[in-house]
Amino acid sequence: MRRGRAIGLLIAAVLFLALALQPQLFAPLLALLNDPGQQIIYDRQPLAMLVLWHVAVVAAAETAAVITAVALGILVTRNRGGDLMTLARTISNLGQTFPPIAVLAVTVPIVGFGFEPTFIALYAYGLLPVFENTVAGLRGLPPATLEAARGMGMSKPAILRQVELPLAAPVILAGIRISTIINIGTATIGSTVGAKGLGEVIIAGLQAGNQAFIAQGAILVALLAIIVDGAFRLFER
Amino acid sequence: MIEVEGLTKRFGATTAVDDVSFRVEDGEVLALVGTSGCGKSTTLRMLNRLIDPTEGTVRIDGRDIMQVPLEELRLGIGYVIQGVGLFPHWTVARNIATVPRLMRWDRARIDARVRELLELFQLDPAEFGDKYPAQLSGGQQQRVGVARAMAAEPSVLLMDEPFGALDPVTRAHLQDEFEAIQRRLGTTVILVTHDMDEAFKLADRIAVMDTGRILQIGRSELLLREPQEGFVRQFVGLDDRALRILSLHGVAEIATPHKVEGWEVLDGAVVDQASGRRILPLAPSDTLREAASRIIWEGADSLPLVEAGMLVGAVRAEDVWRVGRRA
Ligand SMILES: Nc1ncnc2c1ncn2[C@@H]1O[C@H](COP(=O)(O)OP(=O)(O)OP(=O)(O)O)[C@@H](O)[C@H]1O
Ligand SMILES: [Mg+2]
């Protein structure tokens, strides 16, 4: 099972690197999608460069979202008070219900084009899964274990660090995984506001009616999501 | 010494513990018995402040527990939780080391202590030390739970149904081990149990609880001889009270040390010279309940008492009966 997964991950990684670094290798295959004479490999930017930008914006937004959401999740589970919980839930829900494209529309006039509005949209979109899973993970701990920790004389910070977080980690990690792979896909819309990334290839393809562009952009995004998902799953156990 | 006065806990409309007072001397074992939901665990958890009382005070060694810093209080009180509650992400050894680590013992001392406890509770350190709780049977987990509570040799130990999930043989063995350790260290213990036999075996005194109140508290034998009308009478069980009273006494108390006639020690066994029959002799650690059972089985008037291979006295049936008889 685990071995099968590792092999699948390896194949996806090899394909991904080949397509990003040596797209010419795939030219004969991609050519089947296009009319003769159309350009086959996107060349306004090297694909590898766009991959890096794509990864960078997702990683940055996701890191910020994870820090915020985990901190919020810890905060709201500290006491039984429900007010903070409702507030935090509303905020993170809002981030998720507000479509990222709308966030872009709102933020561009304020922060300008490029990296920043994309970062903000992905950050907002990534909060909810992490927050919900952090809360679920921390709430779902066996009460007897927590009572034992308290009864043994561990301090609250020690219980959080040594017992609660390690035990909730698999659930929290699953939230981060879901949030990240959603954002790998969502990040493509960043190209509509001039953020560098793989969305650029897809949009160029759409504008020029170039199926090969669309395919290479979409396949790179899909493979990236598959690889990240697989890597997280390997790590989660 | 633990002094509990007027302890009360209300959860909304229900009164889980209702004006409970008792006192446990140093080195004493008090059993808290009663039916499910009568407030035993709640009482116990107010002693290490897992729950704060609605009313009443608890003093340990003269100090009001509300005045002691929380962590300091709990580090000094061993706690065996109902439902075991081992840390699932830590090995058995790490679980047992919890309190010593919090107290910053050095590594060598912790390792030695963990090994000692595992051996004491009949878990091979090489085999079990590195296992995770999920890899243990229910009974093994319980033993680790007790070992963890005793790791730093606390002077006060609270145990909530510590030996519940064990078969009778293992349970009896652990009770013996526990009793020996408790006597040696002079630990003050409050033991919650449903099992009257366990209470009689381990406790110096027993408190019978019902619907949040202590109905009767006293030395085990008193509870058997003079149980309060009603719930206590029913809970203590009067059908075999004579046998239970006998189980509270050791054979050494009534053995007659005179030169015994008619028996002969032959290769470790005792032979009755008249009939030529082999008789399993009593040992000084046997209770009068065991003596009574053997007397009935052998159809004898008395049984030999053998210590270290030597015939040291006799236990007479009539003396056994007298101990178990009503006052
Ligand atoms: N945190 C709580 N909130 C509300 N009610 C509680 C709480 N803890 C216990 N109770 C109630 O208090 C009463 C006593 O509970 P407790 O756990 O002390 O019983 P117990 O004697 O230990 O029972 P058992 O032998 O089944 O363990 C029960 O009626 C229980 O429902
Ligand atoms: Mg209980």
Separation CA A154–CA A61 (nearest Å)? 35
- Tell me: pLDDT of A66 over 90: yes
Cα–Cα distances in angstroms (integers) from residue A116 to residues A57, A108, A113, A203, B58, in the given order = 9, 8, 7, 19, 60
Task: List pLDDT tens digits, range B172-212.
Answer: 888 888 898 899 889 999 999 988 889 999 999 999 999 99
Q: Taking the alpha carbons of A155, A157, A160, A166 in that order, is the dihedral positive or negative?
A: negative
Phi (first) and psi of residue B2, to 5 degrees: -110, 125
B-chain residues near A144 (CB < 8 A): 81-85
| Nearest in space to B192 (alpha carbons), one of B181, B182, B176, B203 | B203
Mean pLDDT over A71-86 rounds to 80
Sheet holding B213-219, edge to edge: B77-80, B156-160, B188-193, B29-34, B205-210, B213-219
Residue with tokens 């905020």: A91
Q: How far is the CA of A144 from the centre of ligand 2 (A)?
A: 12
Task: List pLDDT tens digits, range A32-65.
Answer: 898 888 898 998 999 999 999 999 999 999 999 9
B-chain residues near A148 (CB < 8 A): 79, 81, 84-87
pLDDT along chain B (327 residues), means of 10: 96 94 96 94 96 95 94 94 92 97 96 94 93 93 94 95 85 87 92 91 94 95 91 87 92 81 79 84 91 91 87 90 90
Provide the pLDDT for residue A82: 65
Which residue in A147, A155, A158 is closest to B81 by CB distance? A147
Which site among A141, A152, A171 would you substitute to test the B interface, given the most B Cβ atoms closer than 10 Å to its Cβ?
A: A152
Separation CA B206–CA B198 (nearest Å)? 11
Provide the pLDDT for residue A80: 65
Separation CA B274–CA A65 (nearest Å)? 91
Residues in chain B: 327
Kindly indicate the confidence band of residue A16, based on its pLDDT and cuts at 50, 70 and 90. very high
Provide the pLDDT for residue B122: 86
Domains of chain B listed by start with CATH number: 2-241 (3.40.50.300), 251-324 (3.10.580.10)
Q: What is the pTM of this model?
A: 0.85
The mean predicted confidence, pLDDT, of chain A is: 90
- Tell me: pLDDT of A81 over 70: no
Separation CA A80–CA A70 (nearest Å)? 17
Provide the pLDDT for residue B274: 80
Mean pLDDT over A83-95 rounds to 76
Separation CA B239–CA B244 (nearest Å)? 10
The pairing of strands B156-160 and B188-193 is parallel
Provide the pLDDT for residue B265: 81
B33 ligand 1 Cβ < 6 A: no
| Nearest in space to B91 (alpha carbons), one of B52, B118, B129, B136 | B129
**Best of B33, B38, B235 for a ligand 1 pocket test (most atoms within 8 Å of beta carbon):** B38
Q: How far is the CA of B41 from the centre of ligand 1 (A)?
A: 7
Are residues A151 and B84, on separate chains, in Cβ contact within 8 Å?
A: no
Q: What share of chain B is helix, strand, coil (3-state, %, to 5)?
A: 40, 30, 35
C-alpha B280, offset from chain centre: 28
Q: Pick the residue with more confidence: A153 or A82?
A: A153
Separation CA B22–CA B6 (nearest Å)? 9
How far does A149 lie from chain B, in Å, by closest CA?
8
Domains of chain A listed by start with CATH number: 2-236 (1.10.3720.10)
| Nearest in space to B92 (alpha carbons), one of B153, B44, B143, B21 | B143
A-chain residues near B69 (CB < 8 A): none
Task: List pLDDT tens digits, range B132-146.
Answer: 999 999 889 999 999
Separation CA B54–CA B110 (nearest Å)? 38
Provide the pLDDT for residue A222: 96
A66 CB-side CA count, 13 A: 17
Provide the pLDDT for residue B259: 63
ipTM for the predicted complex comes to: 0.83
Task: List pLDDT tens digits, range A192-225.
Answer: 888 899 999 999 999 999 999 999 999 999 999 9
Residues 6+ apart with CB under 8 A from B216: B207, B208, B223, B227, B228, B232
